[in-house]
Homo-oligomer: A and B are copies of this chain.
């Protein structure tokens, strides 16, 4: 079975960079937004729209009155979201079936459970994340620390909602991962090397 590394990450913690570096060291594919693009192509929805659904928006039920009872029923937006989730699961499984790889986000730790992936969660102190966002995200350059913090928290909240929706579990809770790594004090290149070492030691080179 192919050996998969899945990476959950707080926004601004450097999880994507770790993922890319690990994939580079191990010479295995790295998947992130490429997956969204594929889903978009398959479901014929605009890429931005898919992104919005799969990461950033909480689930909304519209209660409809039937007689005296309130009953939540599926709305078109929710149905689209479900379609995206199903398609995403299929694509993740296909990618994992092709070769060992690194997958960032997308609840891959849960969806690919049958592959026994190495499940990583990357996090950092809030001040570090604010600084990193200011440096790495062009549109954050002119925002105040407070504004960046609010954006980080909003994105992480949406990731948690999405994770809960797909898995029924709590995003970022350490029991759902094999290793949780705080990037605040350690160089990302060293952490990436460490992860790659463990991958190779535990499984041998793919």
Contact = CB atoms under 8 A, between A and B. Distances in A.
A125 interface: yes
Contacts of A56: none
Contacts of A125: 175
Interface in A24-81: none
Interface residues of A, number: 23
Interface of A is mostly: mixed
A92 to B, nearest CB: 20
A116 B190 CA distance: 17
Interface in A105-144: 116, 123, 125
Interface in A143-181: 174-175, 177-181
A99 interface: no
B198 A186 contact: yes
A98 interface: no
A184 B201 CA distance: 16
B178 A174 contact: no
A156 B191 CA distance: 29
B187 A202 contact: yes
Interface of A: 116, 123, 125, 174-175, 177-182, 184-187, 190-191, 193-194, 197-198, 201-202
